[in-house]
C-alpha cells in the first residue's frame, strides 16, 4: 500500500520518580506510563519527489525538522536510503487533537506513528524492539508511544516493562490554552534543588531499590486495585512546577476537592488530570472544576485508558 492512516494516542504519567542523573545529561527515571484514547490521526503517503513534507492543521506544529514526526521520517530515510529513493518521498499529514506542549507526549506519539507507518508502507518488517531503538534516538517517550498500554518505564524512559491493562478508569484532563512549561527547565531545576538526594551509579541494586518507590503502584496495577492506583499517583516534577505556576496548583486543588480517585500533573505539565470510576463521574468533575475555575482559557477533555499504542485507523 502507498498510504496509511494511524491512530496516535496521548499518554499520561501515573507515576514519575527521578532517581538520579546520568552521564548523558538525562535523568534516570522510574515511571508508570499510560496511553489514553485522546489521539491524533496521522496520514502518511508515498509521493513522487524524494522529499519529506509535513502538513498540520495546528499553528503551533512546525512543518520542518522542529517536528518530531519529520525527524522520524528523516531518520528512517537515512537508515534505508535505497527504499526511500524507490518510494520517492513521504507526505505526513497530522490531524491534531492532543494539546500541544502539554506533557501528554503529543509530539512523541506522532513520531512513533511515522515509524510504525513507514515500517508498514515500506514493508521493512522491523520488530517492535527495533522500532523502539530507533524511536529512542528521537525522544525518551517515543519507545513507549509505539507499544503503549500500561508500562513501567526506567532508564531515560526507554526501558519498558509492560504492565497488565488498567480497566474501568476515566480521565478528566485540563490545560490552560497558552501555558507551556519547558521540560529541560523542569529537570534542570529539579537537579539544582534535589540533586543531593540522587542515587549514585555506584550504589548497588539493593540500595537503589530502597530509594525507588514505584513498587506499590505497580502492585496496585497488577491487582487491578483502581482506588489504590488513584492514591499512589506521584510526580516528582510537581515539586518544581507547582510552586512556579500558581495557576496549575490552583487547578490541581480544584480537582483534589472533587470526588475523585486521585489527581496529578502529567509529565512536566502543564496538563493536570484526575481519575474517576465512571463516565458520569468524569462529566460531573469536569463541570464542577469548570465552574470553580470559571476561566475561558481552560480546555477540558474526558478520556479512557487505551490498551495499546500506535494502531492502524479503520
Ligand atoms: O527525551 P526528550 O527529548 O523527550 O527529553 C526532553 C528533555 O527532558 C531533555 O532535554 C532533558 O532535559 C529532560 N529529560 C531528562 N531525563 C529524562 C528524560 C528527559 O532530563 N530521562
- Distance from chain centroid for Cα 137: 16
What is the arithmetic mean of pLDDT over 9-36? 96
Regarding the beta carbon of 198 and ligand 1, being less than 6 Å apart is answered: no
What does the pLDDT read at residue 202?
59
Per domain, the residue ranges of the chain are: 3-164, 170-304
Regarding the beta carbon of 189 and ligand 1, being less than 6 Å apart is answered: no
pLDDT band for position 314 (cuts 50, 70, 90): confident
Q: Which atom of ligand 1 is nearest to the CA of 140?
A: 1
Task: Look up 236 and say whether it is catalytic.
Answer: no
For residue 35, CA distances in Å to 56, 139, 301, 303 come to 22, 17, 14, 10
Judge whether 146 and 6 are in contact, CB under 8 Å: no
3-21 and 234-235 beta bridge pairing = parallel
Task: Look up 78 and say whether it is catalytic.
Answer: no
Find the 41 Cα to ligand 1 centroid distance in Å.
25
Which residue, chain included where needed, has cell 496521548? 10
Tell me which of 3.40.640.10, 3.30.470.30, 3.40.50.150, 3.30.230.10 is the CATH number of domain 3-164. 3.30.230.10
* Set 21, 119, 141, 236: catalytic member: 141
Q: Which atom of ligand 1 is nearest to the CA of 27?
A: 16
CATH 3.40.50.2300 corresponds to the domain 170-304: no
Residue 246 has pLDDT above 90, yes or no: yes
For residue 2, CA distances in Å to 46, 68, 118, 119 come to 5, 22, 10, 12
* Claim: this prediction has a pTM higher than 0.85: yes
Find the 232 Cα to ligand 1 centroid distance in Å.
24
Find the 52 Cα to ligand 1 centroid distance in Å.
26
Amino acid at each position: 500500500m502507498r498510504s496509511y492512516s494511524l491512530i496516535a494516542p496521548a499518554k499520561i504519567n501515573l507515576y514519575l520518580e527521578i532517581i538520579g542523573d546520568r552521564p548523558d545529561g538525562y535523568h534516570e527515571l522510574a515511571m508508570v506510563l499510560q496511553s489514553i484514547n485522546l489521539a491524533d490521526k496521522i496520514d502518511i503517503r508515498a509521493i513522487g519527489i524524494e522529499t519529506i513534507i509535513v502538513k498540520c492543521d495546528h499553528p503551533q506544529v512546525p512543518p520542518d525538522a522542529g517536528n518530531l514526526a519529520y525527524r522520524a521520517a528523516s531518520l528512517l530515510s537515512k537508515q534505508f536510503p535505497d527504499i526511500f529513493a524507490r518510494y520517492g518521498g513521504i507526505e505526513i499529514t497530522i490531524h491534531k487533537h492532543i494539546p500541544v506542549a502539554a506533557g501528554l507526549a503529543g509530539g512523541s506519539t506522532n513520531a512513533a506513528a511515522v515509524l510504525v507507518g513507514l515500517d508498514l508502507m515500506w514493508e521493512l518488517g522491523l520488530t517492535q524492539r527495533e522500532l523502539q531503538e530507533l524511536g529512542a534516538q528521537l525522544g525518551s517517550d517515543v519507545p513507549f508511544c509505539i507499544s503503549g498500554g500500561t508500562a513501567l518505564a526506567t532508564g531515560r524512559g526507554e526501558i519498558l516493562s509492560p504492565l497488565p491493562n488498567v480497566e474501568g478508569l476515566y480521565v478528566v484532563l485540563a490545560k490552560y490554552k497558552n501555558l507551556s512549561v519547558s521540560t529541560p527547565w523542569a529537570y534542570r531545576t529539579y537537579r539544582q534543588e534535589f540533586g543531593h538526594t540522587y542515587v549514585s551509579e555506584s550504589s548497588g541494586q539493593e540500595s537503589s531499590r530502597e530509594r525507588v518507590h514505584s513498587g506499590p503502584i505497580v502492585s496496585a496495577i497488577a491487582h487491578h486495585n483502581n482506588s489504590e492506583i488513584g492514591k499512589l499517583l506521584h510526580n516528582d516534577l510537581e515539586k518544581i512546577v507547582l510552586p512556579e505556576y500558581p495557576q496549575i496548583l490552583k487547578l490541581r486543588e480544584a480537582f483534589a476537592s472533587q470526588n475523585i480517585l486521585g489527581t496529578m500533573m502529567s509529565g512536566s505539565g502543564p496538563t493536570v488530570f484526575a481519575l474517576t470510576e465512571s463516565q458520569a463521574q468524569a462529566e460531573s468533575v469536569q463541570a464542577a472544576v469548570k465552574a470553580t475555575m470559571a476561566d475561558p482559557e481552560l480546555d477540558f477533555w474526558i478520556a479512557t485508558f487505551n490498551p495499546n499504542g500506535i494502531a492502524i485507523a479503520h
